[in-house]
């Protein structure tokens, strides 16, 4: 049995606590939060759990094996490092840290201490993203041409992170999961329409050496909510609409083909073909539940998490690079890949 303590019971913490409490192999031991009202809520729902305003109580508690950090981003590094140094396995919310440098230091520390470090990129554990992964890995799409995502809605404006860190973060983690290569350059544009607030709208392009191009359009200022990804390959194409109650993933037997027919060359060299569409049944299990079980498995069997610190670090690198490009109106930022 793995005893786990949770630091932070704000927006996302309650989801962690609820899932950890029901995960076989995990025992929810303690919750820390600065807000006494939050702790009262925990106590009412989980009378057996210890609560405290001082997170060091969790670090000092030798019966606790793992710590989950669900606090604002600017505290992730300090709390995560302290947890690792206290000899705990670490579950950390996304984005992992504010800087890639900090992220790499957490990865190094976890490695040195042989502790599991998982970053909570929940999307990777959804039935939809896992199905996309299966399809791509099977080769059904052929060569990947592009990834094109839109994540827009009205609000919620964040106080301390920009819309790239809040929404594009999902695309960055999904791209790391789906593709076998890393982007080599990035160009982003965006703006904050309200002085003194983080950027609330951004457009980010990622370039890959293979020719893949990826793009994400993120905004807190759209009148309608959209969560849609298009992916095109040389053989098939995928749409993923996360707001559909069913048939979220559709696979289109469509593509382009080249012709040497002189008549057609007159007009264009590329034709296209269309065929059936297929919407596979998706696993409806809650992503956070699967991720919690995966965390247990990683600790018990020394498995590397699917969303490990390396993946989490790369995501932070992309947020940093995209933000820098955005603040320079699209300036190309080259990304250093340290394999």
For residue 256, state whether it binds its own copies (rule: CB under 8 A): yes
The CA distance from 249 to 129, in Å, is 9
Q: How far is the CB of 185 from its own copies (least distance, A)?
A: 6
From the list 19-27, 81-89, 277-285, 302-310, the region that binds its own copies by CB under 8 A is 277-285
Nearer to its own copies (CB atom), residue 13 or residue 190:
190
Nearer to its own copies (CB atom), residue 12 or residue 146:
146
Written as six digits, the tokens of 202 are: 């951004």
Q: How far is the CB of 269 from its own copies (least distance, A)?
A: 6
From the list 102-110, 198-206, 286-294, 308-316, the region that binds its own copies by CB under 8 A is 198-206
Residues 130-159 that bind its own copies (CB under 8 A): 145-146, 148, 150, 152, 154-159
For residue 217, state whether it binds its own copies (rule: CB under 8 A): yes
Q: How far is the CB of 5 from its own copies (least distance, A)?
A: 23
Q: Which residue has the tokens 């793009």?
A: 215
Contact partners, residue 12, CB within 8 Å, separation at least 6 = 70, 93
From the list 91-99, 121-129, 219-227, 295-303, the region that binds its own copies by CB under 8 A is 219-227
For residue 185, state whether it binds its own copies (rule: CB under 8 A): yes
Contact 288, 68 (CB under 8 A): no
Near its own copies by CB under 8 A: residue from 197, 209, 285, 304: 197
Residues 20-79 that bind its own copies (CB under 8 A): none
The CA distance from 272 to 63, in Å, is 62
The CA distance from 278 to 193, in Å, is 41
Nearer to its own copies (CB atom), residue 174 or residue 237:
237
The CA distance from 236 to 232, in Å, is 7
For residue 205, state whether it binds its own copies (rule: CB under 8 A): yes
The CA distance from 214 to 205, in Å, is 6
For residue 189, state whether it binds its own copies (rule: CB under 8 A): yes
Nearer to its own copies (CB atom), residue 81 or residue 179:
179
The CA distance from 123 to 225, in Å, is 17
Q: How far is the CB of 74 from its own copies (least distance, A)?
A: 14
What track of x and - describes contact with its own copies for positions 90 through 119 (by CB under 8 A)? ------------------------------
For residue 329, state whether it binds its own copies (rule: CB under 8 A): yes
For residue 278, state whether it binds its own copies (rule: CB under 8 A): yes
Written as six digits, the tokens of 4 are: 């786990």
Nearer to its own copies (CB atom), residue 112 or residue 273:
273
Nearer to its own copies (CB atom), residue 247 or residue 286:
247
From the list 13-21, 79-87, 187-195, 297-305, the region that binds its own copies by CB under 8 A is 187-195
Nearer to its own copies (CB atom), residue 217 or residue 307:
217
Length of the chain, please? 339
For residue 2, state whether it binds its own copies (rule: CB under 8 A): no
SS3 call for 238: strand
Contact 302, 163 (CB under 8 A): no
Contact partners, residue 183, CB within 8 Å, separation at least 6 = 175, 206, 207, 208, 214, 318, 335
Task: Using DSSP bridges, classify how beta strands 237-241 and 89-93 pair: parallel, antiparallel or unpaired.
Answer: unpaired
- Maximum alpha-carbon separation in the chain: 78
The contacts found for 252-257 with CB under 8 angstroms, 24 or more apart, are 252/277, 253/277, 253/278, 255/142
């Amino acid at each position: 049995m793995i005893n786990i303590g949770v630091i932070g019971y704000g927006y996302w913490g309650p989801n962690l606590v609820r899932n950890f409490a029901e995960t076989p192999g995990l025992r929810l031991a303690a919750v820390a939060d600065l807000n006494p009202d939050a702790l009262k809520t925990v106590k009412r729902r989980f009378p057996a759990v210890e609560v405290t305003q001082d997170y060091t109580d969790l670090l000092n508690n030798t019966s606790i094996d793992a710590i989950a950090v669900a606090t604002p981003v600017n505290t992730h590094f300090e709390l995560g490092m302290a947890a690792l140094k206290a000899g705990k396995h670490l579950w950390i919310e996304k984005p992992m840290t504010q800087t890639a440098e900090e992220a790499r230091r957490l990865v190094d520390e976890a490695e040195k201490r042989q502790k599991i470090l998982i970053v909570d990129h929940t999307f990777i554990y959804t039935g939809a993203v896992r199905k996309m992964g299966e399809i791509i890995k099977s080769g059904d799409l052929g060569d990947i041409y592009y990834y094109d995502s839109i994540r827009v809605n009205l609000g919620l404006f964040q106080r301390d992170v920009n819309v790239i860190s809040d929404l594009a973060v999902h695309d960055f983690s999904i791209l790391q999961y789906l593709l076998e290569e890393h982007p080599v350059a990035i160009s982003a544009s965006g703006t904050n329409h309200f002085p003194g607030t983080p950027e609330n709208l951004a457009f980010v392009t990622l370039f890959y050496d293979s020719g893949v191009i990826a793009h994400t359009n993120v905004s807190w200022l759209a009148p309608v909510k959209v969560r849609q990804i298009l992916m095109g390959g040389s053989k098939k194409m995928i749409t993923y609409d996360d707001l559909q109650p069913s048939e979220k993933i559709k696979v289109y037997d469509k593509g382009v083909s080249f012709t040497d027919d002189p008549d057609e060359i007159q007009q264009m060299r590329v034709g296209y073909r269309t065929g059936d569409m297929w919407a596979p049944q998706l696993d409806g299990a809650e992503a956070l539940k699967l991720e919690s079980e995966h965390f247990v498995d990683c600790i018990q069997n020394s498995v590397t998490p699917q969303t490990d610190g390396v993946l989490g670090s790369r995501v932070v690198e992309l947020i940093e690079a995209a933000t820098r490009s955005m603040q320079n109106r699209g300036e190309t930022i080259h990304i250093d890949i340290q394999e």
